[in-house]
Structure formats: C-alpha cells, structure tokens
Chain A
Amino acid sequence: MRGCLSKVAMIVTLWIYVIFPLIRYLSRRPTVLQKPQKKGCPPVIVNGSAMFGGGTVMFKSIVQSPTTEVEQQHGPSRTPEEETKKPNLYMGDAVNLIIDKEPAMALLHEYRQLDAVSTMTKAHSVVGGENKWEMLESEQDGVPCQTGSEINIHQDMQPGKEKMQERSVDAAVDVDLQQALREQFKCLEIENSTQKSTCMKIQALSAPSESNTLWNIARLAEEHTKIKAMKLAATEEVEVWDEYVLPTDDKHGGATSSKWIVPSLLSNTSINLGLNGDSKKPSIWHFPAEPDLAEEVQCPLLRLPDVSYYPPIEPITQFEVIWRAWESLDEDVGAVEPIGGPFPSTKTTLDFTVMSYNILAQDLIELNQELYTHCPLEVLDWKYRCCLFLNELKKWSPDILCLQEVQQNHYYEELHPVLAQMGYTCIYKQRTGTKTDGCAICYKSRHFTEITVKLLEFFQPETELLNRHNVGIVLLLRPVATLASEAKACGPPLCVANTHLLFNPRRGDVKLAQLAIVIAEIDCLIKSCRAKREHCNVILCGDFNSVPNSPLYQLITVGELYYHGMQAWMVSGQKDFSHQTPCHRLFAPLWPSSLGITDHCQYTPVQEDQESPRSGKYQYSHDLMLKRRFYPAACVRPLDLPLIPGVTDHTADLSRKSLSHTESFRKALYHRLDLKSVYEHVLPGSGKPEVTTLNSDVGATVDYIFYSPKRTSGRKLKDGGECASNGLKLMGRLSLLSEEVLWSMNGLPNHVFPSDHLSLLAQFQMQLHPA
C-alpha cells in the first residue's frame, strides 16, 4: 500500500471522522506547502495522516483527485467508496486555489472544517507521502525546480489532539488558548519559473476556525473511516490522504480555476440547534486541538446566518490570492519558520515581530453602519469578530502588538485578560472626549522590558487646530534577550509608537499637527537615549488615515514637507475634494508656538525661568513675529525712513522674493527620524495597490509600520561610530492583498478577517550590544 502511495503525484485528500456520543466541532487547518515539481507531473499532492483513539487504531487510506494521470497511475488501488465519496468531500472542503497569472504564482488555501462529533479523539496529521520525498530528492540533486508552474502541495498537519471532555449538551465548552496559539497553519512554498532567483516562502494565513460542518459529510466520513479502519487495522502507522481540488494550471495556461466550496451553514445551524436544543448557553468555539488542553476559553454562541445558504457545489469561481503570504525578505533566513518558537536570539542579533492592527471598534460599526452594508450580519458581531481576531493574533503571536480602535469595555473585559494570558504586557489609551475606543500597545513581557511610557492626547483645548480626540502611545522598550537560560537585559532601546490619526479627509492640517506630537514625543525619547549614549531604534505604526505618497506620508518617510498654501484635503490623499470650493488651505505657521512644538517636530526646549519677574510683558515668539511680516501695515514704507542707496532702498516685493529661502524654511515641517515603511504599497508581481482597509466607502492603504532602517551607507548617524549596528533589518512581512481580492471575499470584515482593516505584520532584526 505504501509503495503504491509513494507513486502518487496528485493531491490526495483524506477525511477522517470519528463519531462519538458527544458532539464537538473541530476545525483544523492543515499546512500546505507548495513546491514546484517536474514538468508534466500532476501539480498537487497533499497528504496527511491521522491517528485515532489515542493511536491504538490506525489505518491508511488514499483518495485521489480526478485527474487522468492519477487515475492512470493509481486507478487500481482506488476503492469504489473513495470514488463515491469525492463529490461529498467537496462539500466539506472549502478549497481556494489561487493562481496569480503573471508570476505563475499559486497559492492554495484549504479551508477545512471538520465536524467530528467525537471526544477522546487524538488526531495527528503527519507529513508524509511521495511529494515530500520528491522534494527532498530535488533538493538533494540541487536542481532548481523551474521547469514550469506546476504546483506541488504538501500538506503538513501539525499534531493535534482533541481531548475528550464530558459535557452536558448545553454546557459551554471551552477551548484552550495556549493550544490555539499554536494552531496549525498553512505553508505554501512557491517557486516561480519566471522569477528564478526569487524563492518566496509563503505562509498562508489560515482561515479562522469555524464550527461549520456538514452532517452528511460527517456520516460519509464515518463510513469511510470505518472501511479504511477495517482495511488497515493492522497497520501500525496511520496515514490519511486528503483530497483536494486540483489546480489545472497547465491546461488552462496558468489561469487556474478553483473551487470555493463553503460548508453549508444551514446544516451547521441545524446541528447546532439539534445539539444545543433550546439552550441559551454559548456553543463551542474550537481552536485547533493541541496537546496541552489545560485551560479553555469560552466563546459565546456564534450568530449563524439565517439566510446564508451555500449550495453543496458552487460553480467554479475565479479567485486570486485569498491568503496572506509571508514574505521573507532576508535570503539568509531560508526556510526558517519566522513565527513562533522561542524568542530567536543569537548573541549578536535579535529577531522580533511587530503587528499593527486596526480592529474596528464595535461602536464605530454602529455609528457608521452605511460602511458595512455589504457585510452579513454575523461578521459584524463583536463576539464573532473577537474570536477571529484572537485566532489571528494567536496564529502570529507577534512580540509587539499595536492596536487601534480598541473599544474600552472590550479591552478590559475580553481582550486584556486573553492578552495577559498570552504573556503580553499591555498599555491602553482611550480616546478623550466621548469616544469609547483607543489605542493599545502590547508587548511580550519576556522579550521586552519597559523603560518609558508616554500616553498622548492630541486634544489641546488651547490650540484650535488640535480640537480632535485622537490619541497615541509612545513606549521605550528594552529587549530582553535570553542568554544561557537567564534573562538578561541587553540590546539597544526600542521606541515603539502607535497612533490613530484623525479620519476626517478634509482636515489634513489636524493630521499633521497630531503626527507632529507623536514625532516630537519619539524625538524626546531618542534624545533621552542619546544622553546615555545609546542609539534608539524606532517603530512607528498605526492608522494614519493617509494614503501612500501623500504629503503626510512624505513627511514621515522623507522628513520634510513644504505645506504652505497646500489644500488641507490634499495632506492625506484619502479623497479628492478638488472640485469643492472654497478650499481650506494650510498657512504657516501651522500651529502656534504655544503648543511647544517646533516645525522640526521637536519639543521647544524648556526655557528655564519661564516665570522670571524680569521677563518682558510683550513677549513674542519667532513665529508670531514672522506672521506679522506681510500685514498691509507692515509693508508700507515709513515716511521717515531716509533713502540710502544700497541700504534702505529695498522694496517689499523684492524682500519677499529675496527671503524665499527663509520663507520656505519656515513654511515647511521637518523631523529627524529616519523612517521607512515596511510595506511597499504595491503587490509584487501584479503591481496592484495593496489595501489595508476596505469598506463600502474606501479601499486603500492607511495603516503602516514605519521603522528605522539599517543604513549601510549614505546617511551617517551621529552618535558613535556604530552606524553599521544601528537600525533595524526588515526580515519579512505578511503580505497584504489587493482590493479586488478582498471584494472577492465579500469585502471587509468577512468570515476570515474580523475588521475592515487588515493586520500588518513585520519581522525585524536588531543588533545587540556585545556583552
């Protein structure tokens, strides 16, 4: 049997179900690896295995995909049961297979949901199958697989275990958080024949667990497993072959059609109803099972759609990328798993991940319902979104998490307890005024210690420009590297700033002033580090409500912006108000000196003896003096001014012109942070714009992670001669998606992404101080 299996060169999917008296929904996400294969080979192989009943009963089965080649090769070994099972399996499998035509890049997503009405189940999915060996062979041969766009999918299901729990039917069942934290993920590896040198390792973001199941599938699976169990009862090891939709990219010239089959929610609902009866208690939220199922969390009943109905087999739909791929940007990393595991730290460098996520405050949904009319009601439900969010968070488990639109009650009641349990220390700042949401920065306590916390309120009653209730947080952290099993503080300080700037697309002036406050605060912390002769790396992230290459973006990334005369709406570039008159324009100075922030986005040096009795009554700042310069009365030539050629024959107009240098200097904003965006705002390959937010009104990039890049040459840093060791090295990022793709998922939020923003995730490497 195994020999037979080893010759299979197609995706083979096997479903395993175990029926038990108690009903449980299990969802599991297999890992999928894609690798190019030799030409002519059937593109995909998926294999997996499962162990049942604590591993005492083992069996093996094979299911093939309906590909001619496979049938030829493997026909004899197939059983009628398997063939009859296939169409039904499609019902249970939600498989997205996406091929990006241009780079011939294919991402495969498998959205699998198991309704195993079982407990005391131990399911292990193990990497196996011919595909793996083929990969190994090709690697050993050192032959780069570049012969085509064939795809080889290798499914690796991480060990999972479902613990039996006896519960009454209406009892809420908890799911272990720790377990969910390490939930299974998909991994796709893509090699593009047209981009030989580019080997992008992609980790697909797996769909959140949903308790959707198909009763009939469960039944079929049960039958199937029984058959297989009988057949293979004697086998020591279990291997289960899962069947997936096969991409037919070769035949269709790369334009692979994929199947998107969503489990029938209706049947799911019926099961829920059937099982829970008239119980009001929450049903179960299952995170993928993992060994230590010690603690569990309650998730209230998901509101399931009343009207959603997905036919068992939908017409084949065209999809592009649905899954978010992990882009490794460092060649050295190779196949190293970027996420998880112990804090990767060597003696000289330190890797860490940062996520920025606008999680969409529930109150803001209620306030702006018109933005979410495209969404099914259930995806707007907070409990549902919260579970999706926590799921996503646990999947990536970033070392630093910057959140926006965190509703206060949700933070304290739901998010913070979970985050604390996950090992995060959290700082939360609620918006001022009547707003219920705010920003949060959470960091892994075992990876960072806190030096300074600054909570920023942009509302400044004495400054007209700053009359909006937005907030920010600026932290100064010190990385704690574990050396020789002993936590030891080392490494240069890291300044992490998180903010959510004003949304109003017309008020770019307010956004600039708010940004200036954040930058001034960062600058202040950097100076405090510099005073100790330490270089401070900066990470600035958040929702800036400004699109790429807008003037505000330019100020951040270039460090300079000439704003005088600019129309206020232009600053963010969110919308085009050029047809509207009158336009509100920006004039220098943008904010009064009383704000205490210079046009270099730095705090004005504190003047000692501010209340000196000797200080003048009529005290005017530089800005105020300049502001009066061109007042009509100030332009008239004084009658008593003697005309001295070459000395007092300056004309006012000429003065304006000759002062242009000075003027431009004063009508611009600057900052001294060297910041670069993690994302490039254009999807590689297709060149389509990335979006970080999408709703009925807008689809754009407005969220960013900016960081102090490592500058190997060029700009020289002042402090110390350690230029080379300063700055952060970008190691990878979670790729964003295009608007088109997101709309194909019914926009945002949806059943996969809980917010109208996508999460941004980046991995950095910083140099540590030599001990």
Chain B
Amino acid sequence: ENTKVFPLFTSLKDDDSGDHEQDQGSSKDSEKEKNEDEDKEQNSSKRKVKSRPFMYVYMVVPGAGEHPLQFNYSFWYSRRTPGRPASTQSYEQNIKQIGSFASVEQFWRFYSHMIRPGDLTGHSDFHLFKEGIKPMWEDDANKMGGKWIIRLRKGLASRCWENLILAILGEQFMVGEEICGAVVSVRFQEDIISIWNKTASDQGTTARIRDTLRRVLNLPPNTIMEYKTHTDSIKYRTAVLAALQQFHNS
C-alpha cells in the first residue's frame, strides 16, 4: 500500500491516478504539528528580548539584464536542536536569514548554494518570505493570516519546494499581495510544506491559493490539504503553554 503514497511522480503519466494515503497518518501528523507548535511556543517565549541576528540595512535591487521580481524575498533557515526540545534558545534566535534577492537570477545564486530540503538533516526548516516579513505568526503581516499545509512522504520535498517557490516568485498565485511566504519543514518521517497568506478570512483568496498549489505541485485532486489560521496556532500554543505551566506548578 505504501507504494501508492507516491502521489506526485506517479501522477505524471495520469493525473487522476488513484488514491494516495496522505490522510492515513493524519493523527500522527497532527501530533507532529503539535510538537512543532510546542517547539515554537517554547522558543518564542523568550523571543522578545532578542534582536534579529541578521539585519540588512540596504534593499537589494535587480542587476542589469536580470529579471526583476515583483517583490523582494528572503530565505531563512531554522533548526531545532535535536534532543533538546526544551531549548532555551528562542525561535527567533534559532532562525537565520540567509539572504535577500530581487531578481530571478539573484534567487538562483542563493538557491543553487543551498542544500535541497530533502538532503537536510535533523529538524530543519527553510523559509521563503517577502522581504520585511518575518516567518513568525506574530509578524504584522501574518497575524491575521493562515497557511495551507501539505504533508509529503519523504523524498518529495525537494521537488515540491522548488516548484512552490518558483510559483511564488513568478507570481503564479494571482492573489495580489496576499502571499507572505512559504515554509518547508523537514521532519523525521515526513516533510511538510506550507504557504502563508495575509488574510485567513478571505476564503476566495485561500481557495485560489489552494487550487494554484494543486496545479503547480501537480497534486492529485484528492490530496489532503489543511488550512490553519495563525490565530488558531497561537491559541493552541497558549493552551499548551498553560497546561505545561500547570504541570510544572503542580
């Protein structure tokens, strides 16, 4: 049965190929998401005191003869220290801005020197966000927003990630300035890609993002895609935090 979990590549020949089993591990996946959220919540608890480690004071501009992008973007990288879930390092500390770019060519300069997500080790994330937007729920651009989440079997992340960011950079989503960024999260048994937008309540926008996502990732129609608002994520984190606090106090 696991052979059918390969939705992206087997679908090349016939795009309405049969079911895949992304829904199968949903309980497990939600646990993972929970862990991830816990992770973030703990990290972010001490975030406020720290300043950003990488700050570029200049704006990048497209070079001569290059293909300018509609928006400037930045790559970020974050890594959770293995075996230390209760790390004192803040999420903000853990996340590193790799660089910003303003043209297609500049993008490739960065991208070509970055390890493919599928080859990353440990619990690592790549983030691609518009310049000026931090890959955090609390950022002004994100706080009213949400994200589409797609869980991928191991081995698919590199291709999907590349297709996704090329579509974002190439303005294929056609939702104006709604797109904030995207994240690929490398986990133990699966990889998760997500695309963040500004307005979670704009169902037209989120629907269009979902449909474009299906197309550019060449996803089978029955691929499970989950939308999660950042406020829900924050609420969830708060609840877990409170529970943990209670646990520690008792």
Contact = CB atoms under 8 A, between A and B. Distances in A.
A72 interface: no
Contact of B69 (A605, A618, A647, A652): A618
A600 interface: yes
Nearest to A652: B112
A672 interface: yes
Contacts of A648: 77, 98, 113-115
Contact of B112 (A559, A650, A662, A718): A650
Contacts of A609: 174, 208
Given A637-B113, A650-B113, A620 B14 contact: no
Interface size classification for chain B: 35 or more
Contacts of A655: 112-113
B83 interface: no
Interface stretch (B129-137, B146-154, B163-171): B163-171
A629 interface: yes
A647 B113 CA distance: 8
A718 B109 contact: no
A368 interface: no
A117 to B, nearest CB: 66
A626 interface: yes
Nearest to B166: A625
Contact of A636 (B12, B69, B109): B109
B13 A618 contact: no
Interface stretch (A138-146, A351-359, A452-460, A638-646): A638-646
A620 B67 contact: yes
Contacts of B12: 600, 665, 670
A649 interface: yes
Contact of A651 (B56, B70, B113, B124): B113
Contacts of B226: none
A634 interface: yes
A635 B109 contact: yes
Interface string B59-87: 00001001111100000010100000000
Interface residues of A, number: 48
Contacts of A665: 12
Contacts, number: 139
B59 to A, nearest CB: 13
B235 interface: no
B99 interface: yes
B174 A649 contact: no
Nearest to B108: A634
For A612, A616, A642, the residue with the greatest tally of chain B CB atoms inside 10 Å of its CB is A616
A624 interface: yes
Interface string A280-291: 000000000000
A633 B66 CA distance: 9
Given A641-B99, A647-B124, A620 B112 contact: no
A51 B29 CA distance: 90
B108 to A, nearest CB: 4
A619 to B, nearest CB: 4
B107 to A, nearest CB: 8
Contacts of A635: 108-109, 112
A251 interface: no
Nearest to A615: B174
15 contacts: A616-B174, A618-B69, A618-B171, A621-B172, A622-B163, A622-B167, A625-B166, A634-B106, A638-B99, A638-B110, A641-B98, A644-B96, A647-B79, A647-B114, A649-B113
